[in-house]
Every structure is written in C-alpha cells, then in structure tokens.
Amino acid sequence: MSVVQLLQLLTPVLIVPFLITKIGFSTYGNITFIFSIIAYFFSVTDYSFKVSATRDIATNLNNSVAIADIIKNVITTKAIMFIFSMIIIGMIAIIYPPLREHGAILSCGIVLLAGYTLSTEWFYLGTENTKHYAIIQVVSKLIFIGGCVLLIQNQNDYLFYPILLSSTIFFGNLVLLILVVKKHMVSLLSINIKEIKLTLRKNFPLFLNQFVPNLYNNSGVVVIGLMTSSTQVGTYDLLKKPVDLITTLISVLSKSIFPFMNRKNSSFEKYRRFMLGLSTILFIICLFGTIPFFEFLNIPFTTRYLVTYLFLIASIYGYVIYDCYGVNYLIIRNKDQLVMKNTLIASLIAFVFVIPMVYLWGCMGAALNLLVARILMGVGLMIQKHKLNGSEN
C-alpha cells in the first residue's frame, strides 16, 4: 500500500496551497467548517470497525464462513449507523440555519459521509491483501487532484472541491465494497437483528474510544467558526495541516502494523521506540520549517499564529503515546474498556474547556486544548499499561 499511503500524505500538501490561491481563506474556511461538523459522524458510521473488524478478519483468515459473517455484520451495522447519522444531521440543519445556507456544501458532506460508510479498509488491512484497494485508491486520488487543478480556476469554482472530494471517495469505496461482497458471496438480503444488537453492544467501548476524541479534535474548528469568522477557520485549518499530515502517517503505519502486532505482541517495545523516534524527527522538521511554511501559504507571522502552530506540532507526542499504549498494546490485549474509560475522561475534559479557551485565546486556545487532550489521553494509557504489568507480575 506504499503508493496509497504516499498519496494520502501528499494530497493535502499538493491541493491545499492551490485551493487557497484560487478560492481564498474565507471560502476554504466555509467548506472546512461544514465538513468539520460532518466529520463528527465519520466515527459514528465506522463504529470502530477499523480496529475491531481488522482484528477479527486477521484472526479468522482460514475460516471463510466466519469472514463472510463478519463482512455482512459490519456492512449492515454501518448502514444502520449512517441512517441514524442522517437523522441527527437533519435535526442540526433545522436548528442551525447557516448549514442550510450552504446546502450544496452540506450535500457534498453527506455524500462524503456515505463514502466513508462504504469503506472496506478494515477488510483489506485484515487480510493484508491490498492489491485492489491500492489500485482503486490511487485512481480516486489522481482523479481528485487532476479534477481540482483542471476545474478550479477562481473563487466561483469553489464547489468543485467538495464535489470532487466526496464523489471520488464515494465511488472508489463503492467499487471496493462490491468486490469484497462478490468475492465472499455475502448475502445482504437477510438481516440478523440479534447479531446486529450483539455487535453494537460488543463494539460500544471501542466506538466511544474512537468517537469521543472528535469532541475535542473537530470542536476546535467548529467553535472557531461559531465564534469568529470563516477566514479564521481557514487559517487554523492550514496551521493544523502539518500535524494532520504527521498523524495520518502515524495512523497509516499503525494500521499496517496492527495485524502483525495481534499475532506477535511481544514486539511492542521495538514499535514504541521506533514511533517515538520517528515523531521526534518529524517534530524537529516542523520546527525548523516554520518560517518557510508560513511564507509559502501567506499566513501572517504573528505571535498568535506562531504559538498556535507550536502547540499543534507539540501535540504529535500525545498522539503517538496514545497510539502505542492504546491501539497497539491495550486494545490488542482486549482491554477495550480500560482504553475507553481513559479516552472518555480526557476527551470530555477537553470538550468542556474548548469553548472558554477559544473565547479567551482564539486559535491559541483551540491548539492548547488539543495539546492538553492528547497528552492526557497518551499519558493516561501509559500509566494504565504499567499498572496492568504490575498486577500481572
């Protein structure tokens, strides 16, 4: 999946500077604000299957009947969660008029949510057979990049960005889903309500663990949008791009290694040292690249934006510690409840403080909130890991 991973990392780097020059900070901020609201529901429709279903597929590779059951269960459960998400989004649109004012962007966001719902990344990661996945993802990304460059020439063309983003993800994931269903002859006509209820109950701790971080991760952008302007939203999102790039890299590496760690969890220390070393190198690169980064994107070099950027890149360490001790240690050992409790506490603390922090310090407050939340989550899981080892000894 190296080509896919490379494109996932490079797409924001290639497209965002281009978009800013063509449609401006304000319009880009409007799109970012609405998509940040939709992003709350990515974790709802995924319902932690990126972790649990990958784990289940990886441990049942030689059992075709079990794999077919897993696929059917995941698809039907995700469809139910998508319908639930649509109801909530509709209610938000009724209550909050600005969403209706940007109806075209909101519609693209719903298509994007549907595309993420159709994702079968969990299956391909679990089987470690990613040929078709890689081809479709590469083609989708290239169509998106090429379409943006060809079709977006000025601010009036801004709608092509959300249309291309949502449609390429939707149709790419739809093709991959059809391939998986056909290969394993999965029948989606009959629905086992009892099995779905069991899945919802079983996955709930992991779901909370994946969803609750959105309360602080997306809320920074949303609260800035509610309290300031779309220009501020666009600027904050740009300052966050290097961190998003790095966390995407870490997430891709983590998901690729996760099936192996399930089979050989004694490799944890090597994985931990590698990830901490990598994050340190990336932090130093971001630090020394501050001035070129600001100049390249025409971001004003003010104290507020500089401190915001430093807080954001420092949050990388909290994310890495969480990944090491949570996803690739405690979850592998089926300590989902432990991870859920820690994540819930840290995320709710950050969610409570995001509004006053943004009110007092604007972008700096949102960035500081993100930093504190990630450190609380990561360090909390590190402590839980050492407690677990102590009780076992």
Name residues whose C-beta falls within 8 Å of residue 33's C-beta, 6 or more positions apart in sequence: 221, 222, 225, 230, 233
- The answer to whether residues 214 and 60 touch, using CB atoms and an 8 Å cutoff, is no
Structure tokens at 84: 């639930």
Overall average pLDDT of the 169-196 stretch: 86
How much of the chain, in percent, has pLDDT values that exceed 70?
A: 96
| Helices then strands, each counted (H, E), the chain | 18, 0
- Stated pTM of the model: 0.81
For residues 57 and 122, the answer to whether their CB atoms sit within 8 Å is yes
pLDDT, tens digit (0-9, with 9 covering 90-100), for 36-83: 999 989 989 999 898 889 888 988 888 888 888 888 889 999 999 999
Q: Which of 41-50, 162-171, 214-223, 235-244 has the highest mean pLDDT?
A: 162-171
For the chain, how many residues are written? 393
Contact 350/372 with Cβ under 8 angstroms? yes
Query: Which residue is it, tokens 């460059």?
Result: 149
The pLDDT of residue 279:
92
For residue 164, the model assigns a pLDDT of 97
User: Could you report the per-residue pLDDT of 341-359, keeping only the tens digit for each?
Assistant: 888 888 889 888 999 999 9
Tokens for 193, please give them: 């309500």
Max Cα separation, the chain?
65
Question: Based on the number of CB atoms within 10 Å of its own CB, is 171 exposed (0-12), middle (13-18) or buried (19 or more)?
Answer: middle
- List alpha helices for 228-302, DSSP H: 230-263, 268-288, 290-296
For residue 116, is pLDDT > 60? yes
What local confidence, expressed as pLDDT, does residue 2 receive? 54
Q: Kindly state the tokens that stand for 229.
A: 């302007």
Has residue 298 got a pLDDT over 90? no
Confidence of residue 172 (pLDDT cuts 50, 70, 90): very high
* Mean pLDDT value across the chain: 88
- The domain segmentation of the chain, as residue ranges, is 1-204, 212-393
Q: Are 297 and 238 in contact (CB under 8 A)?
A: yes
Q: CA separation (Å) from 224 to 23, 26, 33, 80, 367?
A: 20, 13, 9, 31, 11
